[in-house]
Structure 1
Amino acid sequence: MSFLDILQSREYSRSSLMMSTLLSNIPFTEDVDNQNFYIKENNAYTEDNVLVYNIFVYSIPKQLTEDDVRRYFSKFGNVLDVKLVADKRRSRRAAPKVGFVNFAASESACSALRKNNHRLQGVRIGVKPGDSWNQPNAEKACGSRENDNNVATTSKQTKKHVQQSTTKDAIATNSTHMLALNDDCLESIFGFLDLKAQVRFARVCQRFQDIFQIYCKREFKNFELHKMCNMTLWEMRDFLRFAGDNITSITGKVPYKNRERIMDFIRTFCVKLKCIKLDNSKTRNECLKKLLRGIPQLQELTLRDCALTDNSIQTMTHLKHLETLELAENYELTGKFISKLVQLKVLNFYGCSNIQTFHLVDICKTLPNLKSLDIRRCERIAPTLFDIMVKHCKELEILKMSCPEFPYERVAFLPNLKQLELLYYSWCSASQKRLLAELVTHKADQLEVLKIVAKNTLCTEHIELISQLRQLKVLFASNNPSVNDDSLVMLCKLQQLEELTIKGCSNITNQSVIKLVKSCQSLRHLNIQFCKKITIEFLLETIRFLKTTEKRKKPLVLVVYGTLIDHYGVSACDEYKEAEAQSLIKVIFHASNVDLGLDDGVDIYDIWDGEQWNDDDDGPTEDDDEDIYFPESDMDDDDIDFAYDIFGRIYPHGHDINDVIW
């Protein structure tokens, strides 16, 4: 049943039918995902509740003039001004024109937006509202939300007071007016607001904006993009305009709606960025190129699952300060052009299944400073890679890899290897044993981290070899039943051990784990999830032992979900409460990937049975396609991007924009 059928069904409530009446006032367009306005009482308003007078027009046939466009839109009402521009940067073909049409009356602009199908000389053109900040009433909207019934009265009163109080000295000391508060108080107020409210508060007057910028210096040096998820485009733009100079790191997913424009705001305002970590933020190569061109000092770049291609890598070759590049789950990458980034120290190809061996060989030969390499789930690896790696990667300290079917013990000869992580698809015990034997021979006093992410691949002989790696500080060996009480006794030799993950090793008991804790006194993180024989007696015995030792710098963290240690028993235990208060021990039940000893983004639950990844596909998502505005027209996204580059600024009244363009 369609949405309209539901609305019209007899079972639908009267209140729902009233809602359908309201919905009928909102025009339907083909560009629903990018809808940025609504209509009320024959007036169009932007998503910021700003009355629309200016409309943005695109895909205008190149032969049309401003007079032609003026005549067409004059049928909707009096047109004050028309500005058109063609993107002359491209030479392959004549570009269609884009620009703004400014109406004298808001009702006229609304009439133009209501019409779904605009054609000039038989060619369909696109029409949408201009940005909130380019509307005539934009600045008025900053001071008062006249269309928001909940805040209109308060905003009008605030605006009136701001107009009457031009300086701080003009306010009486006994006044309750907000401007009478000192800067520290106003800065504290910002701390109680969410980001959306902070931006609105900062817009009230110049003093509030100045204080917000001071607040941003402390609070937004490292910014997480999810905080902007409920903000309008104008609010996002203003936030980045206020805080951009202080932001050095941006992480998260760029919102799907207006993604490329948001990335352009980041490029424009966040000029001091050192680190960008984007997740699932697919965009065109041209947009990525513009972003990176504007941040030449970038040192860390993470683009996970962003549908990158080799051409995307070409846009990075100018980044002379880039040291960390993480490209996990970009399945089309082959490794081409990476060798040009000779300054790289950290390189992550996790899940890039199309990476070619000959490109990896070039990378190993040309990146002399490479310290960390992640090639897990890179399936096209050949044996020659490891010979080249041993010969050329003299500085490599961290290697994360999936175990291939051919022998791979050569990695034990890497000169500076300190951390090795093995992701298994299948059990290859012969190669595993040879690798561990070579590690004992060549790296017993050097290897600090060993993570074997697999199920049922370790035996007693393997554990005995691991116990000879004297400098081991971190060991991950979960879901291996052979890790039993006898195995833990062997691991007691690892006096430097700080983190141990034996999740799912169900054969261990209280006595062996307590012995391990007493022997490895540097231990600060122990993951025993789903070790079903571990009881609260282990916790109590551990606390008693810790009280007899010297004061610990950090508590011993126990991850115990799935054991016989339960929430109630821990919360009711006075002995545990006292030890926790003394920072001796801390019990947690639910653990993240970091608590499991793995990197964020690594799915450990789809590798146990030999499956490389989950091929299930539920069909395309909204992020699978680029933004499409009018599929039937010849409009090009570059036209809109170029127009916003030119028009997406606030110019003084009467300013001739053609002076800026040409």
Structure 2
Amino acid sequence: MSSSLLDLNDDCLASILGYLPLKDHLHFAHVCSRFRNVLMDYGKSLYKTVEVTGSPDELVLMRVVGDLVKHMYFKYYPECVQNVQRILRETMRRLVKLEHATLNFSCPVPLHAFEAIIRTLEELPNLKGIGVFQNTDVLDGLRVYDDSNSLLKDCQIFLINDNLRTEPSVLSNILILKKMNNSFKETLGYIVPHLSSVEEMIFYMSQPSKDYQPLARVSKLQKIGIYEKNNQNSGPHLPFIAGLASGLSRQLTELSITTLELCYDEAKEISRMVNLRELHCCFEEPRCLEHLPALKQLKYLSIRVSHSGVTNQLLAIIRGCTRLNVLLARVNSSQLSSDFILRALEVLRIVRDPGNQKPLRLGTPSENQIRSEDLLPYLCVFRDRL
């Protein structure tokens, strides 16, 4: 006996519907009354999170199920330009239960359209946050706002007369608008799955460090630079660094954290990032450096330790990190023994192959008193001015 799609139970039909693009859901509902009932009966699970591109079929569907949507991802295509006002009028205002909106502007967006979208979304009664970004390979900022006026003011620098300037756009940043004093962590979490092209991120920490943990799930992230604005303490970095070590330990190649001094446990988590090639960090005590010889792939290391001697720890790094090309020891002269360079030379003669490796460039806080010809081909010492 032959069977058909109608022989499937409603659970199976709803599961199939979940795999279809949103624009095809209306076609599904138009097949028969049973299919239409499946769409409505399973709407709470099907439309809790939606991805919208602004197609006419999506707009019609949102008029029907918009009050079920809690999380929306909207990708702005060039063909959306003519439909922006319809999207605002017929879709976004119906999303009365919406909590998070993620906007991906993959093309230049007219300023009036961008402002209209932001203004419409912020009026929704249950909104917690809006995330705005472009899915580029490099994101050079992560800005957090408490009001839409500040966000739009920043965007006006780059969005002039309804056209993007040729200069780098503010949308090479992630822009997050917080509403109702909510943490921005949840909104960032909804952005991260869509950062599929991002390989490098540079940003100032303006929020508690732990709230940046979702970044550990950026699938292609290889380089990350973290800075802190003056007089702004983002708190302990351990949860964030531990997240990076767990999620990105084998793909991160560059890490720069020049905010507060990192503690022993934070340094331990960094040592789990086994493929790091470049590292810039400040540590609160010499024993933090004990973890760094585990980073066998390091080629460039810049470290700062505020007090106490570090001679033995630096020698252990030179001994363990045999691929190092540059080591910047940004410490005070009193933190290094008078024979540090000679001892470093002895270590390099054991672990380094001058036939296949260039001399290690070693930056120290004082002038080198040893003749350069006595150090070659293992070591090139220069004064690193802090």
Normalised to the residue count of structure 1, the TM-score between the two structures is: 0.32
Q: Is residue 139–residue 201 contact of structure 2 (8 Å, CA) maintained in 1?
A: yes
Quick one: structure 1 residues 157 and 346, their matched pair in 2 at CA, closer, same or farther if it must change by over 3 Å? same
Amino acid corresponding to residue 276 of structure 1 in structure 2:
I
Match of residue 295, structure 2, among 335, 338, 341: 341
Q: Aligned ranges for residues 50-89 of structure 1 at < 5 Å? A: none
User: Which of 220, 231, 241 lines up with 2:177 in the alignment?
Assistant: 231
When residues 197 and 286 of structure 1 are mapped into structure 2, their CA distance, relative to the original with a 3 A threshold, is: farther
For the pair 1:390 / 2:307, whether they are aligned, the reply is no
Aligned positions of 1:460-471 closer than 5 A: none
Matched, 1:260 2:210: yes
By how many angstroms is 1:266 displaced? 0.4
SS at match of 2:201: strand
Aligned pair 1:278/2:226, yes or no? yes
**Partner residue in 2 for 1:99:** none
Hey, what does 2:50 align to over in structure 1?
none
TM-fit CA distance, 1:304: 1.1
- Aligned-partner residue type, residue 246 of structure 1: S
- Show the counterpart of 1:33: none
- Which of 183, 201, 209 is residue 250 of structure 1 equivalent to? 201
What corresponds to 2:313 in structure 1? 359
Cα distance in 2 for partners of 1:403, 1:305 equals 25
Aligned residues between the structures: 243
Between structures 1 and 2, the one with greater strand share: 2
Q: 1:162 to 1:377 in 2, by over 3 A?
A: same
Q: Distance in 2 between matches of 1:389 and 1:411?
A: 14
SS in 1 for 2:177: coil
Cα distance, 1:136 vs. partner? Answer: 7.0
Q: Give the counterpart letter for 1:283 in structure 2.
A: P
SS in 2 for 1:273: coil
Q: How does 1:349-498 map to 2 (within 5 A)?
A: 349-350=303-304, 352-354=306-308, 356-378=310-332, 379-393=334-348, 394=352, 395-403=358-366, 408-409=369-370, 413-416=374-377, 421-423=382-384, 453=385
**Given that residues 106 and 134 in structure 2 are in contact (C-alpha distance below 8 angstroms), is that contact kept between their aligned partners in structure 1?**
no
Secondary structure of 2:276's match?
coil
Alignment map for 1:199-214 (pairs within 5 Å): none
Change (3 A) 1:156 1:279: closer
AA of the residue aligned to 2:366:
C
1:446-496 per-position Cα deviation (integer Å, ceiling 9, x unaligned):
xxxxxxx5xxxxxxxxxxxxxxxxxxxxxxxxxxxxxxxxxxxxxxxxxxx
> What one-letter code is carried by the residue in structure 2 that aligns with 1:272?
K
Q: Percent identity?
A: 13
TM-score, structure 2 normalization: 0.51
1:125 aligned residue: none
Q: Report how far residue 201 of structure 1 moved.
A: 10
Structure 2 counterpart of 1:290: 243
Cα gap change, 1:322 to 1:142, in 2 (>3 Å): closer
Question: What are the within-5 Å matches in structure 2 for residues 98-113 of structure 1?
Answer: none
Aligned-residue CA RMSD (Å): 4.4
Is 2:284–2:306's contact at 8 Å kept on the other side of the alignment?
yes
In structure 1, the residue corresponding to 2:108 is in which secondary structure?
helix
| Equivalent-residue separation in structure 2 for 1:351 and 1:197 (angstroms) | 50
The residue that corresponds to 1:221 in the other structure is 138
Match of 1:71 in 2: none
In structure 2, the CA distance between the partners of 1:271 and 1:372, relative to structure 1 (3 Å rule), is: same
Please tell me whether residue 189 in structure 1 is matched to residue 108 in structure 2.
yes
In the alignment, what sits opposite 1:315? Answer: 269
* 1:159 matched residue in structure 2: 91
Q: What one-letter code is carried by the residue in structure 2 that aligns with 1:400? A: G
Q: In terms of Rg, which structure is larger?
A: 1
CA distance 1:307–1:199, shift in 2 (3 Å): farther
